[in-house]
Structure 1
Amino acid sequence: MLPQRMLVAALLLVPVPGAQGPQGTGDHGALVFIMGQEPASPVPTALQSSKANADISDLLFLRLARPGPGLSVADEKTFEPQLARSWRRRDSLTLVFELDPRAKWHDGTPVTARDVVWTFDRTRAPGADPQRALLLRYLASATAETDRRVVLTFRRAYSAQFFDATYHVQPLPAHLVDSIPIGRFAASQFVRQPVGNGPYRWVRREPGRLVELAADPAFFLGAPKLDRVVVLVARDPEAQINLLLDGTADAYEAIPPVWGPPRIPRNSPIRLLAAPSFSVAYLLFNQRAYGDRSKPHPVLSDPAVRRAVTLAIDRATLVRSTFGAYAQIAEAPVAGPQWTSSLVPKGPPFDPAAARALLRERGWADRDGDGTLDKDGVPLALRLNLPSTSAPRLTIAPQVQEQLRHVGIRIDIVRLDGPVWAERRNKGEFDIDFSSATLDPSPSGIVQSWTCAGRSGSNVGQYCNPAVDSLLDRAIYSTRRGDAEWRAAYAALQRDYPAVFLASSSSVFAIHSRFRGVTLRPESYYADIWRWSVDPARRIARDGGGARGR
């Protein structure tokens, strides 16, 4: 098996079948970037998606429109056209979209209203995608009035209605997928070889190693300047940074904020950018029994114990030592760039004495003198699952273990390979899961993981409080800004202690300095790489020839 450096060099010398245009000339080039997760099924809308899958699907598939630079989710005038060239309102419940006639699928077939309507209908179909269906629960219908006109009708008027209409669904080619049953879609040939309508088209995937994309020179919004894009899969944090340092890769979005930057030599062609993100890290409590959701968790179903764990953790020290200046303490499942971040009440303080008192009140005591509290003969011992690919989580977990030891809680750290960690998380096979979620630009995405309705999907901790659901519903579907409603909802959720919210962080993004026009969108860092170019005087071998630069 070829080492990754040789593999990348070899595949970038192979012509892509059907490629056209001025590849390998002027300011064109290639981009190789690193991912810790494998984008094994980067097909949007009809599959539940990881961040890696979503990042690649954003290069293959467009939305009707996307939020503008300010990321407003309520002002539809600021949205940027993608598949829809224009839109208008008929009334407070009805949106009309006119599709761009230039938009085509990568097989040459025009994008039509049928594609859009089919995808909306499939997304909301039972068993297809419960999480997106939850976000679209107030969409009444999607209809095609002509080949180019789509009408979306809602049951309720609310401020983020346009965002919901455009963000959650990326249309799929109905002529290729409408015959695939829901239950067979994930294993279909289309998922293995997706056909999109975006700036890049699918070339190949080598499982566990890489994904390759090629520019679509006929892309209707403008031909990309980066002709080839290669994603290298590297799960070990040390291997990730070494691929960057030895020149195998050009970019990596997750340089460890404290120990990573000093590893970059001063004369390196790599530059570092602070990139805002919608990422939130937290310790998620499983409120049902380990691996058995029919029973309550014997320890963590008690909110007093969850509160004690939270009070015993010094979040400020954890965030400072792990992220430096690149993060702030999270007080709820809210990221810094979300407009509601300033409305979140301050969370619980670090108070280990109060944690010990709470545990005593609940009957926990060290009866055998081993340093671990027990109750009814059962030790207060909890398993903390985390992926071995995440440098920040690997740094924080031992500190959490030590801090909780001081109040008599034993934490067993369970480090797992990424896919195994995700599988156990989804099955509820954890006591505490060290989670990191990439949130939607709209705060309404909170319903996926923190409401009763989300328990069939990404609410793997099985947190459920109908009173919180009601408060969130009022906040999300307010016809005005709703500051008071959001404050009340966040405060109610905090009082239940469903997780220890740790950090809302920025990414330390490493990128080779030969690239020009680099912009990083917080919700999708790579979505605009088709607009990037290469300095002609600094092109390197994988850019297609010319001068070798640094």
Structure 2
Amino acid sequence: MKTRALLLGAISGLAMAPAAFAERGSDGTVSIIYWQAPSIMNPFLSGGTKDVEAASIVIEPLARYDEEGTLTPWLVDEIPTVENGGVSEDLTTITWKITPGIMWSDGTPFTANDVKFTADYCMDEAGGCAQVTKFEGVSSVEVVDDLTVKVTFAAPTPFPYGPFVGGESPIIQAAQFADCMGAKAPECTEQNFNPIGTGPFVVDEFKPNDVITLSANPNFRHPDKPAFAKVLFKGGGDATAAGRAVMETGEFDYAWNLQLAPDVIANMEAGGKGVAVAGFGPLMERIMLNNTNPDPALGPDERSVVRPHPFLGDPAVYKAMSMAIDRPLLVEIGYGQAGKVTCNWVPAPEAVNSDTFSCDTQDIEGAKAMLEEAGYKDTNGDGVRETPDGKPMKILYQTSTNAVRQDFQALIKEWWTQIGIESELRNVNSSVFFGGDPGSPDTFQKFYADVEMYANTFNGTDPQSYLGNALCDKVPSPASQWQGENVARFCSEEYDALHEQLTKTAGADERAQIARQLNDMVIEGGGMIPLVHRGRLSAHSNTLGGVILNVWDSELWNVADWHRLQGS
């Protein structure tokens, strides 16, 4: 049966054997640097990877993905399947059985009530949950008993592992967040900065966009873990400084997301203090195209609705913009062997990587001809084309502050200039750009520009929830506290219908086929321009043991197993 094969395939591996330590906290302090500084410790209120990962060492999901992409029990004893009775034969329910004895860091029991509360918290429409696609199709979450929770879907759901799985969908404590439901969610500063968790560490002090200090959780379920007594989690600066701090000076033990040119990484490794680690998952650098009108003269409500952009909605325009880009050069200067040309939103796993489009050859003349034929002409000779109704083709192109991204901006601006499209470049501090502050005008969710460039990824190997980020109802707006990943304001009834079909489809081959179709609809429909399939590249010190790079979940997924190598 294909359905059963799909469920078994997702969980076919065994959890990694845990490392053994003599005593909790015996290895002192581990120092971690994320140059994109975390701005919140609640991933339900931020779509930024930096915030999801920082929170992952404090609050945890019921299950997560290991370094092979295998679904692995975390706060439960086994993954529910049809075979073991955890998933109903009609595929409408999944029942999770929590491992007995798990405690919150405050010493109170972790129960099914906390799991249900988390679902209610995220599914509250007024709360603007950034991870709400994880709960797509859920009709109810019920507490069966203290250690059993049942999720019911509105229709048969062959892949029921969206809620409570992976670093993007952890469990928060019901008692702590009881007064933070709905519109109050972003107002709960204490809870959002200092969540009580089941993870290996607890927050001592959180300074947004700066530094987090944490201590070993005294109630962590593994009595001999974590090995480290303290975590110094530093945010800010840039990727270059972060890489040097690990590989050259040895000031830090782990540096995340080293978005640096390959020769820079090689020179840093020569410092002898640490090594770079890399792996390819679904991480993809792209240019998002605004499908609404970002005119500052419009109010926030008007700038969040789906409305035609003055010219970016024309296939001739965004296809010409894509044709003008030399992706192999971007890969070469930006990532080297840690990058690949991609034409797809979802470049991995391989089964869902579409082969519909070709984009590895730059074609400036072809792009010019396409614009000319569509009626975009430079009538006054200033080098900038005008739309058929006379509007100059000038755009605001924004991204986060980072050396590689600024190099990309400069090159792409030049290529677009050659085809008659003028770009104003803007970069925003990464901590702000990827933050979740609903009051900031500079977040990637608000997208107060014509195009913006960034990368993101998803947990696990099934892209259903990730592809749900292009659904019409996932557009960020004031009503959702500006949360939601459909930042392009892409909206297609056909896409929504096909995604619903994906949620009901069993069989890995059939699901992969639909995923590829959904990918193609977003690219063909002007949701984004893919650029580079990026490897996740980080670095750890030579004295840090237990690090296993995970491209399918949080990079800090096994921080409880990190330890100081003997003799270092």
CA contact (8 A) 1:103 1:110 kept: yes
Decide whether the 8 Å contact of 2:42 with 2:51 is kept in 1. yes
- The CA deviation string for residues 107-156 of structure 1, in whole angstroms up to 9 with x for no partner, is 10010111111111221122224443333231121111211111122222
Match in the other structure for 1:459: 486
Q: CA–CA distance in 2 between the matches of 1:373 and 1:266? A: 48
The residue that corresponds to 1:52 in the other structure is 50
CA apart distance, 1:301: 2.2
Is contact 2:105-2:197 (8 Å) kept? Answer: yes
The range that moved more, 167-176 or 454-463, is: 167-176
Tell me the residue number matched to 1:186: 186
Kept after mapping to 2: 8 A contact 1:157/1:479: no
1:342 aligned to which of 353, 359, 368: 353
Shift of 1:502: 0.5
Q: Deviation at 1:35? A: 1.1
Give SS of 1:468's match.
helix
Note if 1:410 corresponds to 2:422: yes
* 2:72 aligned residue (71, 80, 103): 80
Instruction: Tell whether 2:454 aligns with 1:435.
Output: yes
CA contact (8 A) 2:474 2:486 kept: yes
Q: Distance in 2 between matches of 1:23 and 1:486?
A: 44
Counterparts of 1:150 and 1:195 in 2: how far apart (Å)? 20
Superposed CA offset, 1:362-403 (max 9, x none): 222222222222245432221110111x23212211111111
Q: Match for residue 10 of structure 1?
A: none
Instruction: Provide the residue aligned with 1:272 in structure 2.
Output: 276
**2:9 maps to which residue?**
none
Tell me how far apart the structure 2 counterparts of residues 331 and 477 of structure 1 sit (CA, whole Å): 27
Partner Cα separation in structure 2 for residue 473 and residue 331 of structure 1 = 24
**Residue 175 (structure 1) aligns with:** 175
**Whole-angstrom CA distance in 1 between matches of 2:406 and 2:558:** 31
Amino acid at match of 1:234: G
- State how far apart, in whole Å, the 2-side matches of 1:89 and 1:241 are: 45
Asked whether the 8 Å contact 2:142–2:151 carries over to 1, the reply is: yes
Deviations 1:10-66 (A, max 9, x none): xxxxxxxxxxx94664xx242212112222221244x23421111021111121112
Question: Which residue in 1 is equivalent to 2:539?
Answer: 510
Alpha-carbon distance between aligned partners in 1 of 2:544 and 2:470, rounded to the nearest angstrom: 40
The residue aligned with 2:554 is: 524
User: Which letter maps to 1:492?
Assistant: M
1:474 aligns with 2:501: yes
TM-aligned CA deviation for residue 300 of structure 1? 0.8
- Of the structure 1 ranges 528-537 and 346-355, higher mean CA displacement relative to structure 2 is found in 346-355
Runs ≥4 residues deviating over 6 A: none
1:382–1:410 CA contact under 8 A, matched in 2: yes
Does the CA contact (< 8 Å) of 2:164 and 2:170 recur in 1? no
CA–CA distance in 1 between the matches of 2:269 and 2:62? 43
Do 1:203 and 1:213's aligned partners in 2 also have CA atoms closer than 8 Å?
yes
Match of 1:387 among 366, 382, 400: 400
Retained in 1: the 8 A contact 2:119–2:141?
Answer: yes
2-structure distance, mates of 1:232, 1:484:
42
2:283 aligned counterpart, secondary structure: strand
Q: Which amino acid aligns with 1:365?
A: K
* 2:131 partner SS: helix
Q: Deviations over 1:138-188 (max 9, x none)?
A: 112111121111112222223321344534532211122213343223232
Secondary structure of 1:60's counterpart equals coil
Q: Compared with structure 1, are the counterparts of its residues 113 and 23 closer, same or farther at alpha carbon in structure 2 (3 Å cutoff)?
A: closer
Does the residue aligned with 1:357 lie in a helix, a strand or coil? helix
Aligned residues with identical type, % of pairs? 21
Q: Hey, what's the Cα distance between the residues in 1 that align with 2:103 and 2:433?
A: 38
CA distance in 2 between counterparts of 1:237 and 1:395 reads: 14
2 CA distance for matches of 1:373 and 1:90?
Answer: 59
Given that 2:341 and 2:531 are in contact with CA atoms closer than 8 Å, whether structure 1 keeps it comes out as: yes
The structure where strand makes up a greater share of residues is 1
Contact 2:158–2:504 (Cα < 8 Å) also in 1 = yes
Q: Which residue of 2 aligns with 1:150?
A: 149
Aligned to 2:375: 363
8 Å CA contact retained: 1:306, 1:498: no
Aligned to 2:68: 70
Partner SS for 1:411: strand
Give yes or no for contact 1:372–1:408 (8 Å, CA) kept in 2: yes
- Gap change, CA 1:455 and 1:340, over 3 Å in 2: farther
Contact 2:34 2:235 in 1 (8 A): yes
Aligned match of 1:259: 263
In structure 2, relative to structure 1, the CA distance for the partners of 1:43 and 1:130 (3 Å cut) is closer
TM-score after normalising by structure 1: 0.86
| Inter-partner Cα distance in structure 2 for 1:500 and 1:493 | 9
The equivalent of 2:566 in structure 1 is 536
Q: Which residue of 1 aligns with 2:206?
A: 205
Query: Structure 1 unaligned runs (5+)?
Result: 1-20, 73-78, 539-550
CA distance in 2, matches of 1:205, 1:432: 33
1:192-231 matched pairs, under 5 angstroms: 192-222=193-223, 223-231=225-233
Q: Conserved in 1, the CA contact under 8 Å of 2:278 and 2:536? A: yes
Consecutive unaligned residues in structure 2, runs of 5 or more: 1-21, 81-85, 435-440, 477-483
The 3-state SS of whatever aligns with 2:31 is: strand
The count of residues paired between Structure 1 and Structure 2 equals 507
Q: Deviations over 1:467-523 (max 9, x none)?
A: 222223323431122133233333333322322101111133211011122212112
- 2-structure distance, mates of 1:42, 1:96: 28
Q: Which moved more, 1:192-201 or 1:441-450?
A: 441-450
Give the structure 2 partner of residue 301 of structure 1: 313
| CA–CA distance in structure 2, aligned partners of residues 34 and 439 of structure 1 | 21
Counterpart CA distance in 2 for 1:339 and 1:436 is: 18
Report the CA distance shift for 1:162/1:429 in structure 2 as closer, same or farther (over 3 A). closer
> Residue in 1 aligned with 2:113?
114
Secondary structure, aligned partner of 2:57: helix
TM-score (norm 2): 0.83
Say if 1:63 and 1:166, in contact at 8 Å, map to a contact too: yes
| 1:217–1:224 Cα contact (<8 Å) kept | no
Distance 2:497 2:563 in 1: 48
The SS at the match of 1:226 is: coil
517-526 vs 476-485, which moves further: 476-485
Counterpart residue type for residue 155 of structure 1? A
8 Å CA contact 1:385–1:415 kept in 2: the answer is yes
| Amino acid aligned to 2:491 | C
Correspondences of 1:369-380 after superposition (within 5 Å): 369-375=381-387, 376-380=389-393
The residue matched to 1:379 in structure 2 has which SS?
coil
Counterparts of 1:267 and 1:304, CA distance in 2:
49
1:381–1:497 Cα change, 3 Å: same
